[in-house]
Structure 1
Amino acid sequence: MRSIVIFLSFIFAIYVNHISHLSAEEVSEKTVLATVNGENITIGNVISFRSRLSEEYQSIEDNVLFDGILKQLIQQIILSQNVNSNSRKIKYALENQTRAFLSQELLGNLSEVEIVESEIKSLYEDFLVGVKEQKEFNASHILVETQGEAKKILESLKNGIDFSELAKKHSTGPSGAKGGALGWFGEGAMVPEFENAVTKLSVDEVSLPVVTQFGWHIIKLNEIRIIPIPGIEEIREDLITEIKKKKIEIEMHKLIDAADVVF
């Protein structure tokens, strides 16, 4: 309730020219800001319109935002007054939109359900079951078209030529310009043949030629790091979102199961 009062105070300050005959205490959601061909636009209309905007628009300076909303509402009324609202097409569309709107309102209300700490801890414990620390690899590669080319690259490396320079000169892959650097990647990020080769390497070791669907690779493993299992605080918001989702689904199923649906 306090937030609504503060919000109305903001609107009073912004629209003082429109409602100069009223005091801040007299302003309410029913206060009329403009009338278009006999149809009123109230502060409640503005509040509702604003609540549906994305965060990007809601971050706009208040006086600019509210002026834009009012102009938009005026335009909508003018245009809507020039449409035959009694047509069957519009009638059915409005019915569908009303149902969709009310459904979203209910889902929004259900999402406000209280989440207690024990629920969060319980879900986190479920999350930990079967979870293990993950490895990530930092590797570079030189990609060429034939096995013969790959063998020549490997020979050059054995003769002391720098891996990065060879990659820049010979690699056909997009990472060639960066010396073959692929950055960090986890399990499942690369095609199986490439991943299998990487996981068998020690840090600073270079692979034998490896063939994949993309061609022939010479791979160098630069680093390995372990990604620890996230703590409960790191994924708290995700856990809360998951709990809310499950509770909403339960309530939805209750309503659906209790409904009298006839085909």
Structure 2
Amino acid sequence: MTRPHLLAAALIAVPMLSAPVFAQGGEGADQVVATVDGQDITLGQMIVMKQSIQDPAMADLPDPALWDMMLDQLIRQTAVAASAEETAAVRAQLELQRRNTLASAAVTQIADGEPTDEELQAAYDRFFADQGSVTEYNAAHILVETEEEANALKAEVDGGAEFGAVAEANSTGPSGPNQGDLGWFTADQMVPPFAEAVAAMEPGAVSDPVQTEFGWHVIKLNETRLREAPPLEEVRAELTQMVLREKVEAEIARLVEGAQIEKTEGVDPALLSQTDLLEAN
């Protein structure tokens, strides 16, 4: 039987506790629901524990049954924890968990709430509106190793040979089997010599050989079109995430900059491998 099954069996075997009775003073997160040798178990701890449940079968239990099961587990955990020896490893792990929990809570608080329309518009202007229209090109090419080959194939096309057939028979690039078709692209997606040649062409034209780091190209420009910036509403979700991320990053930078930080000099990085140090009390 696996450990999770053993744990579940142990929990099921324990008689159910009575339904929870809250003491006078309300049901806030700090409400004590049990004590073990003076250690409090609170309602907040129970709520967080329920949030962490990943087993659908447990999550679907009625609240009274789930309450009894979780409280029993926390009682066992608290009793066992009290017997543990607090080594350097335990202290380090507890402090790391504490910092991580607090830092996560701080980030959540910073990112809480939706950006304003003004913030979204400003982000949109930075990333989309200022770009204006972008020209896209639809082209095909024949790629060969030498200028002589490129000139010869260009002469075939000029003489009436069908460009796609010549590309399919001769091009060494991955687009060759597809008659050299490159689909739609923008200039910044291509290496500069190729992009410059395409930008200077008219639809339907075939270029003279163009050299790039990949070899020699004969290019046919099929057509062009203008791609407009998307409407703000179309990219609202992406902009929202971007604005929130920027807020979090800016606040983290502010907090780190304002913190008094002192790094201990002279500590040997090789000590990272000295795991025996964690066994000390």
TM-score when scaled to structure 2? Answer: 0.63
Q: Identity rate of aligned residues, in percent?
A: 32
Query: What residue is the counterpart of 2:108 in the other structure?
Result: 108
**Alpha-carbon distance in 1 for matches of 2:152, 2:116:** 63
**Alpha-carbon distance in 1 for matches of 2:57, 2:257:** 47
Give the structure with higher Rg (CA): 2
Gaps of 5+ in 2: 1-11, 21-28, 34-40, 62-68, 264-281
Q: Quick check: 1:47 aligned with 2:57?
A: no
**Alpha-carbon distance in 2 for matches of 1:247, 1:241:** 10
Query: What residue is the counterpart of 1:201 in the other structure?
Result: 201
Gaps of 5+ in 1: 1-14, 24-28, 33-39, 51-60
Query: What residue is the counterpart of 1:26 in the other structure?
Result: none
- Please provide the CA RMSD for this pair: 3.8
Task: Decide whether aligned partners of structure 1 residues 42 and 244 sit closer, same or farther in structure 2, where only a CA change above 3 A counts.
Answer: closer
**What is the CA distance between 1:109 and its match in structure 2?**
1.9
- Relative contact order (C-alpha < 8 Å, sep 6+): which is higher? 2
**Alpha-carbon distance in 1 for matches of 2:210, 2:59:** 59
**Alpha-carbon distance in 2 for matches of 1:144, 1:170:** 7
**Alpha-carbon distance in 2 for matches of 1:64, 1:184:** 52
CA contact (8 A) 1:46 1:66 kept: no
Q: Quick check: 1:162 aligned with 2:166?
A: no
CA contact (8 A) 1:111 1:244 kept: yes
Q: Where does 1:147-186 land on structure 2 (aligned, <5 Å)?
A: 147-186=147-186
**What is the CA distance between 1:225 and its match in structure 2?**
1.4
**Alpha-carbon distance in 2 for matches of 1:93, 1:173:** 55
CA contact (8 A) 2:128 2:230 kept: no
Task: Decide whether aligned partners of structure 1 residues 157 and 239 sit closer, same or farther in structure 2, where only a CA change above 3 A counts.
Answer: same
**What is the CA distance between 1:233 and its match in structure 2?**
1.0
- The alignment partner of 1:136 has SS state of strand
TM-score when scaled to structure 1? Answer: 0.67
Query: What residue is the counterpart of 1:58 in the other structure?
Result: none
Per-residue CA deviation, residues 7-59 of structure 1 (Å, 9 max, x unaligned), is xxxxxxxx9xx979769xxxxx99x9xxxxxxx99564241355xxxxxxxxx
Task: Decide whether aligned partners of structure 1 residues 86 and 146 sit closer, same or farther in structure 2, where only a CA change above 3 A counts.
Answer: same
Give 2:229's aligned amino acid. I
- Higher mean alpha-carbon deviation, 236-245 vs 213-222, is at 236-245
- Higher mean alpha-carbon deviation, 128-137 vs 160-169, is at 128-137
Task: Decide whether aligned partners of structure 1 residues 112 and 180 sit closer, same or farther in structure 2, where only a CA change above 3 A counts.
Answer: same
Q: Where does 1:136-147 land on structure 2 (aligned, <5 Å)?
A: 136-147=136-147
Give 1:45's aligned amino acid. M
Task: Decide whether aligned partners of structure 1 residues 230 and 90 sit closer, same or farther in structure 2, where only a CA change above 3 A counts.
Answer: same
Query: What residue is the counterpart of 2:233 in the other structure?
Result: 233
Total equivalences in the alignment? 215
